[in-house]
Amino acid sequence: MRLLLRISLFSVALAGSAAADLIEKDVSRLKLRPQAYVRGDVVTLSDVLNFTRADPRLSAEIGDEPVAAELIAPTETEITHDQVVRRLEELGVNLSRILVSGALSCHVTLEPAQAEMLPGEAADEAPLIRARSYEAGATTLADVLRARIEDELASAGGTVEIEFERAGQEFLELTTPPFDFSIRGDRGRKLGLREFNITLRRDGRVQRTVRIGARAKLVKQVLVAAKPLNIGAYVRRESLDYATRIFTSGHDLGINYPEQIIGQRVKKFVPVGQMIHVDDLKVVDLVRRSQPVTVVGSVSGGDSVSIRITGDALDSGGYGDTIRVRLGDSRENYREVRGVVSGVGTVRLADGGL
C-alpha cells in the first residue's frame, strides 16, 4: 500500500487517526477552483477560492486580498495550492481553523478590464452598464442580485459576468439597511436576459415594486478537441485541450474535466478546436468486472492523508457509477467497499472510506 500525502494546512506530516483528531467541526473549508476568469491585472483570493463552506466573515476580510498582482492582461497564469497557503500565512490567518482543499492549482485567464462609462455618455451608445463595485461591507441591490445569479450558476464553474439595464440604475444603488429587498424572478432561465420583480421595503412598509433587467454570461474553460476525434475512436488525454468559451444560454455548458470522458467512444466527428458535447460520445464502461482497479480514498475522519491501493472490480461501470470493489489478496484481509468510478480503471471512495 502506497501513501500519498497531501498537506493542506499543517507544516508537519500527519498520518492515520492523528489527522482526524485535528479536523474540528468549526474549521472553515476553502476550495481551490481548477480554473478562473479575471478581468484586470490582479488575481484575488476570492477569484481562486470558493468560500461557501467558510465563516462568512472570512470572505469579507480576505476575499479582496491579492494573491498575484502586476500582471499584464491578456495573459494566463497558475495559482498553486502552496501559493494560497503562503498568502494566508502572510495575512495572519489562523491556519489551525482553515482547510484548503480542491485543485492542486488554479488556471487563471486574465483579460483587460473593460473601460468604464464616462459621465455624459449618451444612453443609446451604451444601453447596458456593468454592475459597479462598492466599498467593503455595503450591500446594494446590485450586490444581492449578483450573488443570487452567481449562486445559481456555482455548480457550472467559471466566472459569471452580469450587466444591468440602465433603466434600473437608481434602484441598484439602494442599500440594505435601510431598505429590504424581496426578489422574484424567472428561476427557469439562468443565463441570457433575465427579469426580476423587486419589492422595496423600508421600516417594514412597502415603498414600491420595480422591474430590473440583467444580462448574465458565463465565461469558463471547457474541453475541446486538440486532435480530430474520429468516429469509432476512443477519447485519450492527448486528444483533449482547454479553451475559454462564453455562454449566454444554459443549454450545454460544456465538459469540465478530462476524467469525465477519457475512455469513451466517439460517435460524432469533432474537428480540432471544437467544444466537445456529451452527445458526441458514446458512454462505455471505464471499469470492468473482475479487472484490477486503482482505489483512491482518505483516512477515516480527515482529508489530509490520501491513500491509493489496488483492488478488483466486482461490477462494471461508467463515469459516475457506484460499483463494488474487493480489497485484499487473501481470505484473512478480504474487504468489500463501494466507490464511484472517476476515471479509466479508477474508483474513488467517499471521505473516510478507507
Range of the domain at 308: 292-348
In a domain, 354, yes or no: no
Confidence of residue 129 (pLDDT cuts 50, 70, 90): very low
Same domain, 149 and 84: no
Same domain, 78 and 136: no
The pTM is what? 0.50
In a domain, 254, yes or no: no
Looking at 219, 237, 261, which one is the last position of a domain? 219
Confidence of residue 52 (pLDDT cuts 50, 70, 90): confident
Residue 97 pLDDT > 50: yes
* C-alpha span between 284 and 270 (Å, rounded): 18
Q: What is the pLDDT of residue 263?
A: 84
Same domain, 151 and 100: no
Residue 123 pLDDT > 90: no
In a domain, 353, yes or no: no
Percent of all residues in the chain with a pLDDT value above 90, rounded to a whole number = 28
Residues in the chain: 354
Burial class for 88, CB neighbours closer than 10 Å (0-12, 13-18, 19+): buried
Within a 13 Å sphere around the CA of 37, how many CA atoms are in the beta-carbon half?
Answer: 16
In a domain, 326, yes or no: yes
Q: What is the pLDDT of residue 333?
A: 79
Looking at 55, 81, 111, which one is the last position of a domain? 111
Is beta strand 346-348 parallel, antiparallel or unpaired with respect to 281-282?
A: unpaired
Q: What single-letter amino acid sits at 271?
A: P
Looking at 77, 111, 145, which one is the last position of a domain? 111
In a domain, 250, yes or no: no
Burial class for 254, CB neighbours closer than 10 Å (0-12, 13-18, 19+): buried
Tell me the per-residue pLDDT of 206-235, one tens digit each, with 9 for 90 and over: 888 999 999 999 999 999 999 999 999 889
Same domain, 88 and 156: no
Helix (H) or strand (E) holding 20: helix 17-22
Burial readout 167-199 (b: 16 or more C-beta within 10 A, e: otherwise): ebeebbebbbeebebeeebeeeebbeebebebe
Tell me the per-residue pLDDT of 143-162, one tens digit each, with 9 for 90 and over: 999 999 988 888 888 899 99
Look at residue 86 and give its three-state secondary structure.
helix
Secondary structure (DSSP) of 147-215: HHHHHHTGGG-SEEEEEEEGGGHHHHT-BTTTEEEEEEE-TT--SEEEEEEEEEEETTEEEEEEEEEEE
In a domain, 21, yes or no: no
Same domain, 90 and 156: no
Same domain, 133 and 211: yes
In a domain, 269, yes or no: no
In a domain, 102, yes or no: yes
| Range with top average pLDDT, 186-190, 246-250, 300-304, 326-330 | 246-250
Same domain, 203 and 159: yes
Supply the CATH number for residue 309's domain: 2.30.30
Count of domains in the chain? Answer: 3
